[in-house]
Amino acid sequence: MQFSATQQDLGSAIHDGLSKLFDVSRYLNFPFTIEEAARYFLPRTNLTAEELGSLLGTNDFADLKFTIKDGYMLTSHSQSLSSRFQREQMSAAKLASAASFAQLLTRLVPFIRTIAVTGSVAYGSADKWDDVDLFIVTERKRLWLSTFWMLLQIRLYKALGLRAAYLLPFCLSYLHDEDGFSRETRRSRASPLFARELLKAKPVAGTEKYRRILEENKWVAEFYSKPYEETLRLLKNGTDAGAKRRTAFPWPQSILLAWAEGMSYVLLSRYLRARAYITNLRLRSQGKHLRAFEPNISPASCVYTSNFYHWLNSLWGT
């Protein structure tokens, strides 16, 4: 193998990354595969699953108490392949539910450019009552008007009971307009965690826009070159659905929309902060401190950053 760093530095980086993965896997009670570890949790190493598997059998990694079984890396006796498969099936059902909902949203809300699923559903590790975290980018200066209609649709979708309740906990956890997302990517260019989140997200509407987002952020390949290339290839070969760019509105309508956008921001930003405060009180009273979150709200963005994400960022951040 050819590496730009010394073998000693590389071995130390791999060991450090696997140690972090061990802690996360044990907390989630979810075993990752050797291939997943090599592709997404060891940035800049470009290891194959076979190469990583060989390294795990050496004395240099004996202190990491992974139990290797059928290509999976178990970290405790409570983990099993059957429980992982059950979570994968639950994640697939939630992803299908999100895809159906995303197609409805893009028909009813004309300013959405792309919708993707992130979090535990995207990683295939979701439990029955885990949220379905949605990452949405809207046209510039149309974020809050879009959010108003999206919240109404979520309420209506749940009220109608078209699907089982555990398939409907949609969470608008990562919202930007195009300007807000551009600023976010500029701030996060040095973060392997942010790069991994982009690659692991599952676009369910506006796939073409999501592909362009990845193409515009080639720095992601600095951390995960093989997954970056493969993800782009899959997106190019896929079919796009919904979230097309709309034509410009006449100026009287544009003025009305700008006013509605401003009013939506004023009202919804206060409402979402209040709801976040109440939700965090409940989560902390239940001992779910890592699930508590901070709402980061501005005219161009609405992002819920959980304590769990802060922990991951301390491991794989800048």
Q: Give the model's pLDDT for residue 1.
A: 42
CATH number of the structural domain spanning residue 157: 3.30.460.10
3-state secondary structure at position 174: strand
Q: Is the pLDDT of residue 19 over 80?
A: yes
User: Do 199 and 155 belong to one domain?
Assistant: yes
Q: What is the CA radius of gyration of the chain?
A: 21
pTM to 2 decimal places:
0.93
How many angstroms separate the CA atoms of 72 and 35, rounded? Answer: 9
Average pLDDT, the chain: 92
User: Do 112 and 30 belong to one domain?
Assistant: no
| Sequence-distant (≥ 6) Cβ neighbours of residue 301 within 8 angstroms | 143, 175, 176, 177, 180, 181, 183, 184
Is 120 domain-assigned? yes
Q: Give the model's pLDDT for residue 128.
A: 95
Q: Among residues 212, 95, 94, 77, which one has the least CA distance to residue 198?
A: 212
User: Do 91 and 238 belong to one domain?
Assistant: yes
- Residue ranges making up the domain that contains 45: 7-79
How many angstroms separate the CA atoms of 170 and 162, rounded? Answer: 14
Q: For residue range 34-67, what is the model confidence (pLDDT) as tens digits? A: 999 999 999 999 999 999 999 999 998 999 999 9
Q: Give the model's pLDDT for residue 317.
A: 72
- Bridging pattern class, strands 132-138 and 170-177: parallel
User: Do 252 and 171 belong to one domain?
Assistant: yes
User: Do 15 and 156 belong to one domain?
Assistant: no
User: Do 21 and 50 belong to one domain?
Assistant: yes
Single out the residue in 61, 79, 97 at which a domain terminates.
Answer: 79
User: Do 195 and 55 belong to one domain?
Assistant: no
Mean pLDDT of 181-199: 95
